[in-house]
Amino acid sequence: MTDFFKGITPLRYDPSSTDLAFRHYNPDEIVMGKRMEEHLRFAVAYWHSFAWPGGDPFGGETFERPWFGNTMDLARMKADVAFEMFDLLNVPFFCWHDADIRPEGDSFAESLRNFEEIIDYLGAKMDGAKTKLLWGTANMFSHRRFMSGAATNPDPDVFAWSAATVKACMDATHKLDGQNYVLWGGREGYETLLNTDMKRERQNAGRFLQMAVEYKHKIGFKGAILVEPKPQEPSKHQYDYDVATVYGFLKDFGLEDEVQMNIEQGHAILAGHSFEHELALASSLGIFGSIDMNRNDYQSGWDTDQFPNNTPEVALAYYEVIKAGGFKTGGTNFDAKLRRQSLDAQDLIAAHAGAMDICARGFKAAVAMTEDGTLEAMRQDRYAGWDTSDAKAMLASDFSSIAERVASTGIDPAPRSGKQEILENIVNRFV
């Protein structure tokens, strides 16, 4: 045991508590036939909680953590602290990048040795813990070698380094029985077309993803391969801009049946969408997998990764998750970080506890809306005309036949209300 969380006791469900506790999240509460924990599948993000130093685009480190440094001893201390926090929060999952958990070596071989050693250390800790691995991924955006991308880099040696890195991370995820593997193209984009061969970069990125899928099958990994869309930041033009863009990319390379989406609220906002839009689109395309739960500052132009605190927004997101059939291998990963002024160990626990409560409140509201059924009934009524035999026959016909029918029957459609305000009022009954 470390003393980082000294004095903080494991959190319990206690709606009347005025101290650190869950007031809305009861993991054992049965909702829609399952425990709430099994529905929400919370995960802690290793990078923001234990590796992020508290910087922003305008200033550097504000956190001084005892495990910060580039040695294996400090990496093991970081893991010890992480699992103490997992126990305090009673979370079922966590997620990592390779660079979060191991020191950077002077060569690929040294970094790999460090990584494999810390994976064994994490595996030993997981043997005696409740918390399992939701997903692993590779950090191919922080080091300067990735400044021009990883799979899309103009230097084939960087492509090779990246492929070897993803192989190692997939091996580690498989070894730890991770339930998914995520590919996030943090710098898979470009800053100017003046030095960019877009066709070549897209082709290389597509082949890279095909190789990842091929390797998944080679090693017998049964989890999902997830791609996480992110627009604009750090590259202005990202090849994985949003769900629609990624789906077109998957179709282009024959991967639409192999790859699913890990969708983040903050990234949806940067793309000019809502979180629920991206979730609904992924569901309609059959590629919904998992979510990164956070929020963005609506006045800032970058990905602020704040913990969620808006119940209505969260409720609408989980409403789409429920409509998609809920999580299978995915879950709710808190890709969220403390504010730079929140320095204390208690802040880290309170941030997660509050986010878990917000998610529980939003999820229960989404369940209530689903079970009430009014929203879905009104949606179905709006499109009921398409279920008639005439409408179905029209879709099987052609323009000429349709035009003839319009002329012969005197079709003159009257506009119908979309009832948006009424629908919003219905949502407000639950949130």
Q: Are 79 and 176 in contact (CB under 8 A)?
A: no
Q: Dihedral sign, CA of 107, 109, 110, 115? A: positive
Closest CA to 225 of 209, 205, 241, 239: 209
pLDDT along the chain (431 residues), means of 10: 94 96 98 98 98 92 97 98 98 98 98 98 97 98 96 98 98 98 93 96 98 98 97 88 97 98 96 97 98 90 91 98 98 97 98 98 98 98 97 98 96 96 98 94
Q: Dihedral sign, CA of 95, 350, 273, 152? A: negative
Within its chain, how far is the Cα of 263 from the centroid? 4
- 174 carries an active-site annotation: no
Peptide bond into 156 cis (omega under 30): no
Q: Are 199 and 154 in contact (CB under 8 A)?
A: no
How far apart CA 183 and CA 206 sit, in angstroms, is 12
Whole-number pLDDT of residue 236:
83
How far apart CA 113 and CA 106 sit, in angstroms, is 11
Residue keyed to tokens 């999902």: 224
Closest CA to 349 of 4, 2, 1: 4
User: What token pair was written down for 228?
Assistant: 């996480």
Closest CA to 65 of 51, 86, 48: 51
Q: Pick the catalytic residue: 24, 97, 273, 352?
A: 97
Name 180's bridge partners: 135, 224
Q: Pick the catalytic residue: 48, 98, 100, 240?
A: 100
How far apart CA 291 and CA 200 sit, in angstroms, is 30
User: What token pair was written down for 171?
Assistant: 């091996």
Greatest extent of the chain over all pairs of C-alpha atoms, in Å: 82
Q: Give this prediction's pTM.
A: 0.96
Whole-number pLDDT of residue 52:
97
Indicate the angle between helix axes 198-219 and 156-175, nearest 10 degrees: 30
- 100 carries an active-site annotation: yes
Q: Dihedral sign, CA of 295, 182, 81, 100? A: negative
Q: Are 135 and 177 in contact (CB under 8 A)?
A: no
Whole-number pLDDT of residue 57:
84
Residue keyed to tokens 């305000």: 421
How far apart CA 246 and CA 256 sit, in angstroms, is 9
